A and B are shown apart, each in its own frame.
Chain A
Amino acid sequence: QSVLTQPPSVSGAPGQRVTISCTGSSSNIGAGYDVHWYQQLPGTAPKLLIYGNSNRPSGVPDRFSGSKSGTSASLAITGLQAEDEADYYCQSYDSSRWVFGGGTKLTVL
């Protein structure tokens, strides 16, 4: 049982827009801690996708965007591409520990 709740899976056709939610509580996201997002392609290490709720590291396409409100955060991917098929994880801080969401598998139909 993860501290941050994500849907196990989402899917979309190429070119479509999908969103992945990350629901926390008043001790993590709701306490004002930032949310970060990671993309993990099959068989590889996680890669930072969004940091500080809505910031993209250099090299990450602007098709990826993040937002945060209250005790939740969201990752949006527009113009879905086959190469976006991966697992996505949210992360936040909670009482001197880091917490991750359970992960969401994105399938590009």
Chain B
Amino acid sequence: EVQLVESGGGLVKPGGSLRLSCAASGFTFSSYSMNWVRQAPGKGLEWVSSISSSSSYIYYADSVKGRFTISRDNAKNSLYLQMNSLRAEDTAVYYCARSPTVTDWFDPWGQGTLVTVSS
């Protein structure tokens, strides 16, 4: 069974940092692009970042560029999101999701991990 499990969320103060992880299982992780999408409380979906299978292509939303860094470790079947200089508006549930290629659909999605930025 294909499974994505996020971890690393929590409460952090404005200006702080957090590193999210996404553990993949049930498929050949190194063959797929991966993505992070977030959803603020009561709001819609917002794409955050994407990384190609070999990390050759990396993209960020303007709202996080320069503050967030996406990475992956194909040997560990893991995806990461390093989040620095966090702001209140970064408060959201963060989902990781798989794509056949960097321009394809997202499927499946993990269950999400909540990040709360508050003093």
Contacts and interface: CB of A to CB of B under 8 A. Distances in A.
Interface of A: 2, 33-34, 36, 38, 40, 44-48, 51-52, 57, 87, 89, 91, 93, 96-103
A100 B46 contact: yes
Nearest to B46: A100
B68 interface: no
A48 B47 contact: no
Contacts, number: 55
17 contacts: A44-B111, A45-B111, A46-B37, A46-B45, A57-B107, A89-B44, A93-B103, A97-B47, A97-B59, A97-B61, A97-B62, A98-B35, A100-B37, A100-B45, A100-B47, A103-B44, A103-B45
Given A45-B111, A89-B45, 4 more contacts: A36-B106, A40-B45, A48-B107, A99-B47
A79 B47 CA distance: 31
Interface of B: 35, 37, 44-47, 50, 59, 61-62, 95, 103-112
A52 B105 contact: yes
Main secondary structure of the interface of B (DSSP, over half): loop
Given A96-B59, A98-B47, A101-B44, A36 B105 contact: yes
A94 B104 CA distance: 12
B53 to A, nearest CB: 17
A46 B35 contact: no
B106 A48 contact: yes
A1 to B, nearest CB: 11
B20 to A, nearest CB: 15
A48 B103 contact: no
Nearest to B47: A98
Given A51-B107, A91-B106, A45 B59 contact: no
Contacts of A34: 105
